[in-house]
Every structure is written in structure tokens, then in C-alpha cells.
């Protein structure tokens, strides 16, 4: 396994550009970079530029991963670059992106079935609970898009890997893979996002492990709050995710898997607004009815996990939501935002140390 980073959250990635960011990744002692989409490497899909990036990554001994983007057609207006690169034809644009990716040896490509809207609280922050179209209709439309892209993916030797994103469950991802075909689809395992669907990260990892081809390695705080549970990103080892269990599962199935850290984005790169607290509304009847695959057993395991984590928070081992928010983002005074470049680097280093420590203990080869 190699430990790298999600390029979208890499500090100063836009300021430095892809080539200099590869040097930055190497300097941080990481093993590679996962650019969210190939357009992040070249907005025009310039093959000369892309090959230069590939060559630089190889020269530095770094892995290079990428993706396509959002493939839920009800979200297309939120990703105008996909239509633009196809000169008005989104399927043509996504196909061009696959061809360009394959040309530089990127055959594992991230896709996501929705967008997260941090300005809205609770269930309305995710496309799962849109009121103009049902989630079932969105899943069917996403399946149709994947099937339209499948012939090109097969011809190019590509897997379109569906992220365990904020709005989708592991069960739904498995059904999409079954419907489209595991020869051209797979999973980007985000180790924390399933918490937002009240799925236990270890249980979800066991379900998805045979199909995992890319990762977002991420941790989170989960705590009881009005209406349900708060969710807040944390450095690996300072949250609720059991990486000891998850890395053991992944290493047994795919020992060559790349582990890409996903960190909280620096306020220097993305000035932070006073977002409302994001709430997992497990106690809301509408929210609970929208998760028919969630078994009583898994829900109880989830609640037991939260109880154990809460004990650590009460004991002072883990900072609660308010303390962490205040210390990192100046809460409630958002005019003061201490979480800048160096704080983001510290986040990376903490996460890296934790993952390396676990891998060393388990005898998992990690570079």
C-alpha cells in the first residue's frame, strides 16, 4: 500500500498547480496524489500537459489517480465543466475524460452520485432528500449514465469507482455495481462518509471491500446533538473511525491499494463561511424512512460506537464539537480563522502518523 493525499484538499494545490504540487506531496513524505478529476490536471485535456504530469509523478515515485466527477444527471448544472469539455454533450465530455485518463495510465476513476450543500442543515444538505425529484429517480438516472459510459470504460480498461459519498449508502452502491457490471465499476471508499448515513464504517467496509479500488482516508467526530448527531471532520486517530479494523480488511483484499488522505481544507484555500452545524437526523421519521436498508443490528452497533466515543469525549480525551470549532476556526467569531496553511499541514502529518502506526503494527507494507 502507498499513503498519499486527495489533491482537492492538498494545501495550495491551485496556487502551485499540478506539477509543483507533486513536489509538495513528495516533500511531505507522501506516496502519491488523487486529483479529483482529470480536469484538475488539465482543464482542456491537453495530452502534452497530462503526460508531463504523469512523467513527473513517475520520476518522483508517486502514484497518480484521478476521476470523472458527478454522474448524477440531476446535478449536472452544478458541474458545468463536464458539459463544456464535451462542447455541450456531457456523455461525450465524460468519454473524452476517460480517454485522456487512459492515455496517461489512470484507469481507476472516481465518480460521485451527488453534491453536498454545506449551507443547509441536516437532510436537506444532501441530494438524497431533494424535494423536486426522489432519490430512487436519481439512482435510476445515475445507473443509466453509468450504462451509457460503460462501453467506453470497458474498451479503455477503466473502472468508474463510486464514492461512498455523503448522500448514498453502501447498499445502493452495491446495487449500482451489480446493475452496470463490476468489470467497469468499483468503489472509492471514503472511510467517514458512511457515518452520515448511520452505517457503521467497519460493517460498510466489509460489504464493499471486494470492489474497493480507490480511497479517501478520513476520520470524523460524531456526537449527540439536537435532532440527532453532529458530524465534524477530524485528523485520523482523533475521530470515531476504527482504522485498525478497516485497514486490516482492505489489506487482506487488495494489498496494493492506494490510501489517499482527505483532510479539512485550509481556510487559506477556501475561506470558510459560518456554516450551520451538520446534523445526522437519525431520530427524524423522514430521515429514518429514507434508509430502508439500515438494519436494527447495524443501527445498534452504530449507537454503541457513538456511546463509546462519547465516553472518550466526556473524559477529555477528545475535544467536543464546540471546543474543536473554536480552536480551529475561531467559533463563534468567524472573523478569526486560525486554520490556515500550517494547520492543514499539521492535519496531514497527524493523519499520516496514525495510519503509518497502524500499518506498522499490523505488518502492512506501506510506502
Q: How far apart are the first and last CA of the chain?
A: 6
pLDDT of amino acid 273:
65
Q: DSSP 3-state assignment of 286? A: helix
In a domain, 321, yes or no: yes
The whole-number mean pLDDT for each consecutive block of 10 residues of the chain, a chain of 367 residues, reads 97 97 98 98 98 98 98 94 96 98 98 89 91 97 98 98 97 98 98 97 98 98 92 96 98 97 91 72 93 97 98 95 85 64 95 97 91
- Asked if residue 263 lies in contact with residue 5, where contact means CB atoms within 8 angstroms, the answer is yes
pLDDT of amino acid 326:
84
Q: Give Dmax over CA atoms of the chain in angstroms.
A: 57
Residue 274's domain spans which residues? 2-362
pLDDT of amino acid 325:
86
pLDDT of amino acid 106:
98
In a domain, 283, yes or no: yes
Q: Quote the number of domains for the chain.
A: 1
Residue 187's DSSP bridge partners are 162, 212
| 351-to-46, 229, 235, 256, 322 alpha-carbon distances in Å | 34, 23, 5, 20, 21
Nine-digit cell string for 336 = 478569526
Separation of alpha carbons 19 and 280, rounded Å: 39
pLDDT of amino acid 206:
98
- Asked if residue 233 lies in contact with residue 222, where contact means CB atoms within 8 angstroms, the answer is no
In a domain, 62, yes or no: yes
- Asked if residue 231 lies in contact with residue 276, where contact means CB atoms within 8 angstroms, the answer is no
In a domain, 338, yes or no: yes
| 192-to-173, 265, 268, 367 alpha-carbon distances in Å | 16, 16, 24, 23
pLDDT of amino acid 367:
80
In a domain, 297, yes or no: yes
Separation of alpha carbons 187 and 164, rounded Å: 7
Instruction: Kindly report the number of other CB atoms within 10 A of residue 230's CB atom.
Output: 20
pLDDT of amino acid 97:
98
pLDDT of amino acid 121:
80
In a domain, 314, yes or no: yes
Instruction: Kindly report the number of other CB atoms within 10 A of residue 59's CB atom.
Output: 10
- Asked if residue 248 lies in contact with residue 362, where contact means CB atoms within 8 angstroms, the answer is yes
Q: Which residues contact 90 (CB under 8 A, 6 or more apart)?
A: 73, 76, 82, 83
In a domain, 367, yes or no: no
The alpha carbon of residue 261 and the mean position of all alpha carbons in its chain are separated, in whole angstroms, by 9
Q: Is residue 345 packed enough to be buried (19+ CB in 10 Å), middle (13-18) or exposed (0-12)?
A: middle
**What is the 8-class DSSP label of residue 200?**
-
pLDDT of amino acid 362:
94
In a domain, 105, yes or no: yes
H or E stretch covering 84: helix 80-85
pLDDT of amino acid 301:
98
pLDDT of amino acid 335:
54
What is the CATH classification number for the domain harbouring 201? 3.20.20.150
Amino acid at each position: 500500500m502507498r499513503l498519499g493525499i486527495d489533491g482537492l484538499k492538498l494545501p495550495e494545490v491551485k496556487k502551485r498547480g499540478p506539477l509543483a504540487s507533486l513536489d509538495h506531496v513528495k516533500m511531505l513524505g507522501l506516496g502519491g496524489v488523487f486529483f479529483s478529476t482529470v480536469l484538475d490536471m488539465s482543464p482542456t485535456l491537453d495530452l502534452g500537459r497530462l503526460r508531463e504530469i504523469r512523467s513527473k509523478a513517475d520520476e518522483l515515485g508517486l502514484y497518480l489517480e484521478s476521476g470523472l466527477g458527478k454522474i448524477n444527471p440531476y446535478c449536472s448544472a452544478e458541474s458545468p465543466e463536464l458539459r463544456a469539455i464535451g462542447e455541450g454533450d456531457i456523455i461525450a465530455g465524460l468519454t473524452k475524460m476517460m480517454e485522456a485518463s487512459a492515455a496517461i495510465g489512470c484507469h481507476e476513476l472516481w465518480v460521485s452520485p451527488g453534491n453536498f450543500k454545506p449551507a443547509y442543515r441536516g437532510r436537506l444538505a444532501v441530494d438524497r432528500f431533494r424535494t423536486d425529484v426522489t432519490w430512487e429517480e436519481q439512482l435510476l438516472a445515475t445507473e443509466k449514465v453509468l450504462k451509457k459510459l460503460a462501453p467506453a470504460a470497458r474498451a479503455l480498461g477503466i473502472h468508474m469507482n463510486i464514492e461512498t459519498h455523503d448522500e448514498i449508502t453502501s447498499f445502493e452502491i452495491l446495487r449500482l455495481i451489480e446493475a452496470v457490471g463490476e468489470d467497469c465499476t468499483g468503489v472509492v471508499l471514503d472511510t467517514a462518509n458512511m457515518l452520515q448515513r448511520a452505517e457503521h464504517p467497519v460493517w460498510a467496509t466489509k460489504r464493499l471491500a471486494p470492489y474497493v479500488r480507490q480511497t479517501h482516508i478520513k476520520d470524523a467526530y460524531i456526537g449527540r446533538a439536537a435532532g440527532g448527531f453532529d458530524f465534524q471532520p477530524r485528523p485520523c486517530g482523533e475521530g470515531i473511525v476504527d482504522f485498525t479494523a478497516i485497514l486490516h480488511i482492505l489489506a487482506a483484499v487488495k494489498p496494493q491499494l492506494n490510501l489517499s488522505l482527505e483532510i479539512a481544507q485550509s481556510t487559506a484555500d477556501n475561506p470558510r463561511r459560518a456554516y450551520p452545524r451538520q446534523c445526522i437526523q437519525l431520530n427524524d421519521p423522514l430521515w429514518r424512512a429514507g434508509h430502508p436498508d439500515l438494519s436494527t443490528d447495524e443501527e445498534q452497533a452504530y449507537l454503541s460506537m457513538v456511546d463509546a466515543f462519547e465516553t472518550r469525549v466526556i473524559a477529555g480525551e477528545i475535544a467536543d464539537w464546540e471546543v474543536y470549532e473554536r480552536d480551529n476556526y475561531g467559533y463563534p467569531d468567524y472573523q478569526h480563522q486560525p486554520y490556515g496553511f500550517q494547520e492543514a499541514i499539521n492535519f496531514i502529518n497527524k493523519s499520516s502518523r496514525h495510519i503509518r502506526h497502524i500499518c506498522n503494527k499490523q505488518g502492512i507494507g506501506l510506502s
